[in-house]
Chain A
Amino acid sequence: MAQHTFRVNGEAVTVDVADDVRLLWVLRDVLGITGPKYGCGINVCKACTSHLNGKAFNPCSVQVKDVGPDDEITTIEGLPDTVGADLHPMQEAWLERDVAQCGYCQPGQIMAAVALVRKVRAEGRQITDADLDGIRNVCRCGTYNRIREAVRDGAERM
């Protein structure tokens, strides 16, 4: 066992867990932060998508030893705080369009959407159909069209 210190949703945390445990399990099983979901464990389904220092990443594929005290992990639970509001504009767009069905993939979808909008904006352009086609997050309920609409809507609100 080893101690690992990093930041989650604005707070410093220290966990006592083996070096190679993936962050998804540190978040869920050790810290009790259950917004990021398990859907595959091999960085394919993207249900666990969260942010590391503002960029989308998948904690199922990062060992706890690879983050340090200066690294800030944001999960869906901490997303509103990044804009100092009760809800992030992307979450508002999601609600407006009633995107969720079962809801299981939705935290990952929203975190991916926010990162995509930031990335596209940094490239100085608008979201395209190709950008939307490139979203890898699986939604087994198939609410994909509402996701596409909400990403565009959320981009305008951000």
Chain B
Amino acid sequence: MAGTTLTVAAEIGGAEAASAAVPTLPQVPELYDLGDLQTHSALPTSQLIRITVDDAGIAHFAIPRMEVGQGITTAAAMIIADELSMRVEDVRVTLAPARPELLFNQLTGGSNTMQSMFTPIRVAAAIAKGALLRAAATALGANVSSLVAKGGVVTAPNGSRRTYAELSGLAATSTTTAVDVELAPTTSFDVVGTPRNRVDALDAVTGRKQFTMDLSVPDALPTMVCRPPTLNGSPRSVDNLAAVRRMPGVTDVVVVDTGVAVRAATFGQCIDAVRALRVTWAGGPVEGQSDDSVLRRLKAAELPMAVPKVPLLTQTVDMRFEFMFRSSAALEPNCAIADVRSDRATVWAGLKAPIVAQRNIAKAVGLPVAKVTVNVVTGGGSFGHKLFGDAAIEAAKISKAMGKPVKLMWHRADEPRQGRTHPMATSRIRATVLAGQVLTFEQRHTSIKTDFSHGLGERLTALASELPAGLGNLGLAESIFTLTQELPYNFGVVTQLLNEVDMGFNTGSMRNIYSPDVACANELFIDQLAKRLRKDPLAFRLAFLRNERVKACLRKVAEAGRWGRSMPAGTAQGIAIHSEYKGATAVLVEIDCRPETVNRKIREAVTGPRVTKAVIAIDAGLVVNPRGLEAQMMGGVSDGIALALTSSNHLQDGHFLEASWDNYFYTRQWNVPPSFECIVMPSDAQLPGGAGEAGVAATVAATACAYARATGTVPTRFPINHGTVSFTPKTFVPPVPPSPTDGLAHTY
């Protein structure tokens, strides 16, 4: 600790305008962050991975993580191709099933896959290459050190060659031996660091890519659940079970804890049966609650500020922000296939924590864990939604109750209404300012409880006593908050605290967890501090930032986005930064809040202010695939715009109103910035940082800052248009809308 403090002191001395700033001591994530925790949790079992080279010269690797679109299978294939001196096209990366022996090393989250797996994958590939080279040396009669491997072919000095296909059998051994490998220096990469297209792109554009619902499992017929009208309600009785069982296509109807499950020949007939069911429901834990009542609970739970003694004449700045519930649902709804028999169960689903799901499924159906096979299927998006095995556990229960295999799918309406959400939260900030310096900065973040029961929790508990900065005394959510939140400014005494309230909502770590809200509050507040000190937002940030990587990103977007250019009234720029995942981001956006833009008409669309330009700079450490990184930044910007402006769930009388993509306003084409630029910052880091979530926080913040500057009003509730319910809520009983029949009237 002392050593690190000294290092930071040196940084402070080097900062140009920081002579006017009051230095802030290093925060926990600068010393040890969530990524370190995950990587260290993975370490003891990270050698339990295997790369196989077959007799066709193809390398196979079953990655113990889940591909959900973030590009880890492509990145892993690139790393293997590089280390094994072969073509990316000859590497096949699949998803490993639940492997309980991996303990804490099978969680896909926290943008940690490349952080924790980069070196283990390289080591495994290097071991494989060593074996192939030794086999080649024997076959070619040459020294290993004289051989050159390239493109899956080993060549001896005399020009004789052997392909990996020819060598794999010779290299194979039935005994296990320990070998030392020396990894090539990171400067010698041929593939890593070059832009590559996704390995699954051809399958995606031809419709061949298979998701859970595309799998053909014998007798696993379409299954859906009639869900309660209030959040987490439960069925008491069903009036017309027998009649629904006789409906066309229907094979089974059973009552489970979450509702009434229907199995039929087609999903269309499931929807008809769900709509026909007459169920009496118990209300659930949040019956009668609304946005306002939850906000009151949060306000009551807000921790007090504790400004240390500051000199007389100090100015105090106070602000408070509110963040509404948001759905983390992906486009692929919750779904799973389950085949539960008396002595075993097999499940297929998109699962980011399959070991935990396996344990929960076993418990739910009363089988030993070893009798439950959990296959991990590539996901149609996740955004944190697939950390939990909700659908897999539910499918297993239904399969057991029916005694038949089922292919369970949630209706879209079920997702925002009963699925996982980003919890509602408030953020209070108080700073004290004197003579152009910020003496204190206090943040009290108060949130509905975030559910971390997907496994990392136990590891955190287990490690708690070893963690720095007294983390062991904090609760789980507070620990994750503390391990991720970093305010990289010299604002004197900085405290950021979390308090959470459990009201029985279904929550989870939506992409970037706390950071989008925290960063939005911070950066808006910082713009107000700048205003008070009569400084330009960019100049103020550069003067107070104490992280050179963040500063470099900020300067880059300011230059590329022409910060400060003159713009028409009603439009403005916003600029913001974020530091997480062993990296840094800065975002510059331009927003158009003029009435002609805000009120533009698109059928069934929420239009509103439009972000017309987004420039994002990302320093993600060592970059495996710049094209994939840019894709993640593009997605992060789309998420950030939605979180700032349009996407939220409205809680009213115990249920969320949203039931459709035309109710839940995730960014659509009409709100996409026509101009988007991503700048990948050069880095001499030896390891990758995180990418999947890194683009969100600074985008929310920059968009909010731009809105405030364009309208002259600082927004304090997000998303900005939450106050207007711009749709007619769909039916709650029955819980899903009918499918239209007028599709032929809407062709083009």
Contact = CB atoms under 8 A, between A and B. Distances in A.
Interface of A: 1, 17-18, 20-26, 28-30, 32, 34-45, 47, 52, 55-63, 66, 75-77, 80, 87, 91, 94-95, 98-107, 110, 115-116, 119, 129, 132-148
Nearest to B67: A102
Contact of A21 (B205, B214, B266, B638): B266
16 contacts: A20-B741, A32-B216, A38-B267, A40-B660, A44-B661, A47-B331, A52-B747, A61-B746, A80-B206, A98-B631, A103-B200, A107-B205, A133-B672, A141-B631, A142-B635, A148-B674
Contacts of A42: 412, 660, 737, 739-740
A55 B747 CA distance: 6
Nearest to B264: A29
A141 B265 CA distance: 31
A95 B197 contact: yes
B627 interface: yes
B661 A110 contact: no
B666 interface: yes
B741 A63 contact: yes
Contacts, number: 239
B639 interface: yes
A35 B272 CA distance: 23
A4 B515 CA distance: 53
B660 A145 contact: no
Interface string B193-229: 0000110111111111111011010000010000000
Given A142-B667, A143-B631, A102 B379 contact: yes
Nearest to B215: A34
A98 B206 contact: no
Please list the 4 inter-chain residue pairs (A to B) with the smallest Cβ-Cβ separation, ordered nearest first.
Answer: A142-B638, A35-B207, A102-B69, A104-B380
A61 B741 contact: yes
Contact of A41 (B329, B378, B411): B411
Given A29-B266, A34-B207, A102-B381, 18 more contacts: A17-B265, A35-B207, A38-B213, A40-B661, A57-B743, A94-B201, A98-B198, A98-B627, A100-B69, A100-B200, A107-B205, A138-B661, A139-B638, A140-B666, A141-B69, A142-B638, A148-B669, A148-B672
Contact of B746 (A47, A58, A134, A147): A58
Interface string B606-642: 0000000000000000000001000100111111000
A37 B266 contact: no
Q: Is the interface of B mostly helix, strand, loop or mixed?
A: loop
Nearest to A34: B214
B381 A140 contact: yes
B743 A34 contact: no
A71 B674 CA distance: 38
Interface of B: 68-71, 197-198, 200-211, 213-214, 216, 222, 248-249, 265-269, 271-272, 329-333, 378-383, 409, 411-412, 602, 604, 627, 631, 634-639, 660-662, 666-670, 672-674, 676, 736-737, 739-744, 746-748
A139 to B, nearest CB: 7
B744 A44 contact: no
Nearest to A78: B207
Nearest to A46: B661
A101 B69 contact: yes
A35 B211 CA distance: 10
A53 to B, nearest CB: 8
A91 B205 contact: yes
Contacts of A136: 668-669
B635 A101 contact: yes
A98 B198 CA distance: 7
A104 B634 contact: no
Contacts of B748: 55-56, 115-116, 119
A29 to B, nearest CB: 4
A30 B209 CA distance: 19
Q: Which of B604, B627, B666 has the most C-beta atoms of chain A within 10 angstroms of its own C-beta?
A: B666
